[in-house]
Amino acid sequence: MAILPILCYPDPRLHTVARPVQAVDERIRLLVSDMLATMYDAHGIGLAATQVDVHERVIVIDVSEERDQPLVVINPEIVWASAEKVVGDEGCLSVPGIYDGVERSTAVHVRALDGEGQPRTIEADGLLAVCLQHEMDHLLGKVFVEYLSPLKRNRIKTKMVKAQREARA
């Protein structure tokens, strides 16, 4: 198990579109195990493979209070999304320290493979529904700040670039 480096916005690699996983084999199982360790280490509730510079459709999530209910989501597709939407504050491990409101469907049904390669349908609402939509955006190369106004986004970009420059110095 390894803790993987997480790409930070505005790294252009965060805009890569991930390809489907061809087979849930040993390589993918190791990636999943490393992603779970990385997500727990960073105190996140989700992580997409894109964020660790692997451009395949793999997500891990744990929205449980006890941090003991890992969810592995491979090749996810939204098969239903509620018309009802809600604006909620989101954060992102790739945009540390930034939280802002994003409008999402309140509930989604997601068809995916689990960590064993078995097909599953996840019926999600609440934080799980929001997290699934946030992580699936990552697989499409989209970071949540892209829902914000150009003014806010540019301010965040400037702040992130400055923080990364200072961290290197």
Q: How far is the CB of 26 from ligand K1U (least distance, A)?
A: 25
Using the minimum distance from each CB to ligand K1U, give the nearer residue, 56 or 90: 90
Kindly identify the residues of this chain, within the stretch 1-60, that bind ligand K1U according to CB under 6 A. 43-48, 51
Residue of 92, 113, 122, 131 that binds Zn ion (CB under 5 A) = 92
Using the minimum distance from each CB to Zn ion, give the nearer residue, 24 or 59: 59
Q: Which residues are CB-neighbours of 134 under 8 A, at least 6 positions away?
A: 46, 90, 92, 102, 104, 144
- What end-to-end distance do the CA atoms of the chain give, in Å? 30
Report d(CA 157, CA 10) in Å as an integer: 6
Active-site residue among 26, 77, 116, 135? 135
Q: Does 76 bind ligand K1U (CB under 6 A)?
A: no
Q: Would you state the structure tokens that stand for residue 57, as one six-digit string?
A: 């459709």
Q: How far is the CB of 43 from ligand K1U (least distance, A)?
A: 6
Residue with tokens 């929205």: 63
Report d(CA 159, CA 157) in Å as an integer: 5
Is 84 annotated in the active site? no
Q: Does 93 bind ligand K1U (CB under 6 A)?
A: yes
Candidates 77, 23, 14, 24; CA nearest to 49 is 14
Binding footprint of ligand K1U on the chain (CB under 6 A): 43-48, 51, 90-94, 130-131, 134-135, 138
Binding footprint of Zn ion on the chain (CB under 5 A): 92
